[in-house]
Structure 1
Amino acid sequence: MNIPSEFDCIRPFEPEELPAVYDRLLAEPQFQKVLAYLYPDVSLDDIAKKMHGCKTNLEFQKAFCYPFLQQLIVKLSLGCDMDAYNINIKNRYTFVSNHRDIVLDSAFLDKLLIDVGFDTTCEIAIGDNLLGEPWVRDLVRINKSFTVERALHSVEMLRASKRMSEYIHFAINVKHENVWIAQRQGRAKNSNDLTQPAILKMMAMGGEGSVIDRLCQLHIVPLSISYEFDPCDYLKAREYQLRRDVPFWKKTAEDDMESMLTGIKGFKGHIHYECAPCIDDWLQTVDQEQPKNKLFDTIAAHIDTEIHRNYRLYPCNYIALDMLQDTRMYTEHYTENDHKQFEEYMMGQLAKIDIENKDDRYLRVCLLSQYAYPAKNYMAARGEGGRFKSLLNYLPFMK
């Protein structure tokens, strides 16, 4: 395929580039350690032979990523499934989802797209802040990831955003791939999943025609991701207190790596993905004469509602909402044993946080907020908002 050279610095590898990349990866000592951990009884030569047998990125995903994810689901969850009844598996879409886990949100989507009958997976937007090691960058580009360039000056950022937008349009309409992108930069640490209009503005920089035309060309599908338990919940709570107490505190590459490994290795309970209808038809009903900022806000709000209304809630979500508000409003959704087990889970997660001047009360609220917000937003999206108190009095917010 003839791919414009302007995309070379951000795009996934093409099939003809894979053999050289495989050799580069297999010669990397850190990657060899990863392979030894994942495949302790398999020789490097046998792995190399299997890798070189993968002639396309999709073949690599099916040979290496799919079995790994299936094993992960069996060992560290109570099942992972997706409802895709609102979309056509023969079409291509841009999946815009809430963001819980750095690695697994998009990885599970790849597996689930195969499970429901798609003949391809998706290209994944990943921030360059997570790609510090050259071998990691190679690996994710084999796995159909394209790079979101961050920490640039304003002029460079504008140029990079336009290039990424044009690449997403190219991936959907020329390469005929699906695309996944989170609804915001970074994970929502309190699980209050809100689409950043800036993401939509970026997406509308590519393509042709009006803003609505350009977004329709991407065939956006709001995607809801629901984990019963988030292994990184205590890390997110810790980050809240550090941001609150330590002037100019910033996450490091080591913090990101800790989150990635914790998310992969931790127990997740039930996992559910649900696709809302593609918003193409809805976009045709939007008033295009309104100011641009209001237009993007309107579209973002619609995506939020679609994501929120398609959450799958678990007993812990209702328990957290009751615990946070000191009520018993939602006891029809859980048992006393559920409540006891979740309380024990909270205590165990709190015990994992080791920082100076540890504020247990504040951290507990931070933890509870991550499980309460999906329930609050779900009920609001479904018109049940009058049943809960305002969480603004309880939940912490992070800039």
Structure 2
Amino acid sequence: MTLHDFDSIRPFEPNELPEVFDRMLQNEQFLQVLAYLYPGVPKEAIGMKMHQCKTNLDFQKTFCYDFLKKLLAKASLGIDNDFKNIDLGKRHTFVSNHRDIVLDSALLHASLFDAGSDTTTEIAIGDNLLKLPWVKDLVRINKSFIVERSLPMRQMLMASKRLSEYMHFVINEKNDNIWIAQREGRAKNSDDRTQEAILKMMTMGGEGSVAERLLQLHIVPLAISYEYDPCDFLKAREMQLRRDVEGWKKGPMDDVVSMQTGIMGYKGHIYYHCAPCIDEWLNTLPEDMPKGDFYKTVATHIDHEIWRGYRLYPGNYVALDLLHGTSHYTDKYTDADRATFEKYIDGQLAKIQDLPNPDMAFLRERILEMYANPAINQLSVAK
């Protein structure tokens, strides 16, 4: 297979960047975003800086890295990461829990730069987030490849096979890393579980048995922990709408609002933890394992590695006690921690303005679940 077999889904290549930069610099919406991010800076100066980026990695270093560092200074208490279980000189497919539409992969990139990696990752992104042409251009400059969704069944199978073949191509031919979420869409209640369908898609490409095909992708379970999720109130609101309004579906602006809120909102502490690559573990599985059992076993292994890798904060334990009406975990937080967290929850609930009949008890319970579930899951696999 050659790169051109994947033209419809792959990131832009370096020789394509100048034309894409010019196209974006003529887009009014993109120019408005630039004016917001770089007030008072003429578009010509930004255009010149864009054209100095000869590769996608140059663009990430020049624009994305600085933006993320400034963002973290404003909207977080900083980020820690732990890559000691993997060799950054080798190529991996990072499979992570999914908290934030934009930042999960972006902050991984910043962390990889800081850890001395010579590359970042190619990012799997759903086409449902790419309705605006300039956004589609921007993510493909930023090393994203497109996951095609909402296709008829026959086309969906072909698209999944092409996606899988592209992932194998990235690792084995382009010699780059991949980031992909463990499930389609964010886990609204933070009960992070790997969809077997994602693993099945990965084994549609490559060579040999299903185990050999997964081995060729060098999967690393990645745990992402945000102390606070700025979108928690939006997720709770969505849960009530799904409960109360038959056939409710997200509107065209809902993902945009989530992206904006997730990026700009306060996150507290952030932590990224890589478990060991699963290759060695995969080699211990029986060769004659039925396929159904195989996918289930691999999904569970990835889940447990992610759960073990969480960093839990006082709020996670407060939420667990509040949710169950217990005081089992009072050794994990102080009275001040509890007061701070309860005040935070009340503040988030107050942001839910536009529900016709806000069910505050339901909404509060949903938000508490989001913070309790990582603790419940980690405690379930604690040795």
Do both share a fold (TM > 0.5)?
A: yes
Provide the residue aligned with 1:174 in structure 2. Answer: 173
Q: Would you say 1:380 and 2:342 are equivalent positions?
A: no
5 Å-filtered alignment, 1:38-53, equals 38-53=37-52
Matched-pair contact (CA < 8 Å) for 1:130–1:253: no
2:242 paired with 1:270: no
2:229 pairs with 1:237? no
Q: Which amino acid in structure 2 is aligned with residue 282 of structure 1?
A: W
Shift in Å at residue 295 of structure 1?
A: 0.7
Specify the alignment match of 1:387 in structure 2: none
- Paired with 1:288 and 1:25, the residues of 2 have a C-alpha distance of 50
1:252 deviates by: 1.8
Q: How far did residue 313 of structure 1 move?
A: 0.3
Distance 1:293 1:72 in 2: 43
Could you say which residue in structure 2 is the equivalent of 1:126?
A: 125
> Normalized against structure 2, the TM-score is what?
0.99
Give the letter aligned to residue 163 of structure 2. M
Match of 1:225 in 2: 224
Q: How does 1:201-350 map to 2 (within 5 A)?
A: 201-350=200-349
1:103 corresponds in structure 2 to 102
Whether the 8 Å contact between 1:105 and 1:225 is mirrored in structure 2 is yes
CA–CA separation in structure 2 for the residues paired with 1:235 and 1:294: 36
Instruction: Work out the CA distance in 2 between the residues paired with 1:301 and 1:176.
Output: 28
Q: Name the CA distance, whole Å, in 2 between partners of 1:132 and 1:300.
A: 31
Q: Measure how far apart 1:336 and its partner are.
A: 0.2
Q: What secondary structure sits across from 2:125 in the alignment? A: strand
Gaps of 5+ in 2: none
**Could you tell me which residue of structure 2 aligns to residue 388 of structure 1?**
none
For 1:152, the equivalent position in structure 2 comes to: 151
Number of residue pairs aligned between Structure 1 and Structure 2: 382
> Would the aligned equivalents of 1:148 and 1:164 in 2 still touch at CA under 8 Å?
yes
Contact 1:190 1:366 in 2 (8 A): yes
SS at match of 1:124: strand
Distance 2:12 2:284 in 1: 38
TM superposition shift of 1:42: 1.3
User: Deviation digits for residues 279-298 of structure 1, max 9, x if unmatched?
Assistant: 00000011232221111000
Contact 1:129 1:253 in 2 (8 A): no
Which amino acid is 2:31 matched to? Q
**Corresponding residue of 1:364:** 364
Q: Cα distance, 1:41 vs. partner?
A: 2.5
Task: Work out the CA distance in 1 between the residues paired with 2:381 and 2:250.
Answer: 33
> In structure 1, what residue type is equivalent to 2:363?
L
Read off the aligned partner of 1:203 and give its amino acid letter: M
Moved over 4 A (4+): none
Structure 1 length-normalised TM: 0.95
Name structure 1 gaps, 5 residues minimum.
384-399
Amino acid at match of 2:61: K
Q: What fraction of aligned residue pairs are identical, expressed as a percent?
A: 63
Task: Tell me the SS of whatever aligns to 1:174.
Answer: helix
**What does residue 396 of structure 1 align with?**
none
Q: Superposition RMSD on alpha carbons, in Å?
A: 0.8
